[in-house]
């Protein structure tokens, strides 16, 4: 059986770990050629090597998605390496929480810049390339449907205490998705969003404050209080948090030909959770 995404060029930000890594491996298993980003070069280089060892094709584009020149470099890597763009996944992100009266401007803008401004810049940089490819397809009599999948969160849908910055940015992602679905429909591009609930990654599975990650020159504390995590899982109808592979499956659904007439939508991947 021919892989579902044979020959497609897929770009994934935040692909070195967690959900992003699972998305990349899923797309690669279905034949996509990958352009992979992560903040740190080591995990993304390891992933590129793993994909190539399995017979796939992949290129690395390490660096911060918030860097002013990142979007052009990311899109340029896809064009130079694979001469196109078929699938674009805006996944990179992290959380930096505080109640609003204690939240600094730095915390606010860090979340907005990573989760909303970075996808905006990437999509802006991709537009001329996608427009040119779409025109060439029409002139050649080809029907090619391209895919954008932006990543949001239940925090963007319902809000979440201590996450005014993250929630606002993730709500903005849904607005950006709906707008681009209207702008890019004429280019035969579907633009959708996946809002994740509790997914078990390094951001959630360590005990609160027990570990940290160096992000944008800042030491960001990781983890969730175990009692809070247990309480969260009890509110999920399926009774547990999701795995990165299950999260990747939701993204993959919106990359398949079966989703060619779905656009401007937010798919909730929450195990049945309908509020927080």
Give me the pLDDT at residue 112, please. Answer: 98
Instruction: Supply the pLDDT for residue 214.
Output: 73
Q: Does some domain include residue 181? A: yes
Count of domains for the chain:
1
Query: Strand 211-215 vs strand 218-222: parallel, antiparallel, or unpaired?
Result: antiparallel
In a domain, 209, yes or no: no
Rg (CA), the chain: 18
Q: Tell me, yes or no, whether 40 lies in a domain.
A: yes
Count the residues in the chain. Answer: 276
Please indicate, yes or no, if residue 57 is contained in any of the structural domains. yes
Order of strands, sheet of 266-269, starting from the edge strand that comes earlier in the sequence = 58-60, 33-36, 9-12, 87-90, 146-153, 189-196, 266-269
pLDDT band at 216 (very low <50, low <70, confident <90, very high): confident
What is the token pair recorded at 262?
């779905």
**What are the helix (H) ranges across the chain?**
18-29, 41-53, 70-82, 105-112, 118-140, 154-158, 164-184, 202-205, 226-234, 244-253
* Residues that are catalytic: 166
Q: For residue 69, is it within any domain?
A: yes
Q: How far apart are CA 83 and CA 66, in angstroms?
A: 24
How much is the pTM?
0.93
In a domain, 221, yes or no: no
Helix (H, G, I), strand (E, B) or coil at 159: coil
Q: Confirm whether 58 is domain-assigned.
A: yes
Indicate the helix (H) or strand (E) that contains 214: strand 211-215
The 10s digit of each residue's pLDDT in 8-42 is: 999 999 999 999 999 999 999 999 999 999 999 99
Residue 210 included in any domain: no
Q: What is the domain-level CATH number for residue 120?
A: 3.40.50.720
Owning domain of residue 257: 9-197+247-266
pLDDT at 208 (0 to 100): 47
Tell whether the model's pLDDT for residue 189 goes beyond 70. Answer: yes
């Amino acid at each position: 059986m021919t892989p579902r995404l044979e020959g497609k060029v897929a770009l994934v930000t935040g692909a070195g770990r967690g959900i992003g890594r699972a998305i990349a491996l899923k797309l690669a298993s279905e034949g996509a050629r990958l352009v992979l980003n992560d903040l740190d070069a080591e995990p993304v280089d390891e992933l590129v090597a793993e994909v190539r060892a399995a017979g796939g094709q992949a290129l690395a584009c390490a660096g911060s998605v918030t860097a002013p020149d990142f979007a052009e470099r990311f899109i340029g890597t896809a064009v130079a390496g694979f001469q196109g763009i078929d699938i674009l996944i805006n996944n990179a992100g992290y959380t930096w929480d505080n109640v609003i009266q204690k939240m600094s401007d730095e915390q606010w803008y860090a979340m907005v810049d990573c989760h909303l401004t970075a996808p905006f810049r990437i999509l802006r940089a991709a537009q001329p390339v996608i427009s040119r490819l779409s025109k060439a397809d029409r002139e050649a009599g080809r029907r090619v449907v391209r895919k954008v999948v932006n990543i949001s969160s239940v925090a963007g849908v319902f809000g979440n205490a201590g996450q005014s910055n993250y929630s606002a940015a993730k709500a903005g992602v849904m607005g950006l998705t709906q707008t681009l679905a209207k702008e890019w429909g004429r280019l035969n591009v579907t633009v959708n969003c996946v809002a994740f609930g509790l997914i078990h990654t390094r951001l959630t599975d360590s005990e609160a404050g027990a570990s940290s990650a160096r992000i944008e020159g800042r030491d960001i504390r990781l983890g969730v209080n175990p009692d809070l995590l247990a309480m969260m899982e009890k509110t999920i109808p399926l009774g547990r948090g999701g795995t990165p592979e299950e999260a990747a499956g939701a993204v993959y659904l919106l990359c398949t030909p079966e989703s060619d007439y779905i656009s401007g939508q937010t798919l909730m991947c929450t195990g049945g959770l309908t509020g927080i």
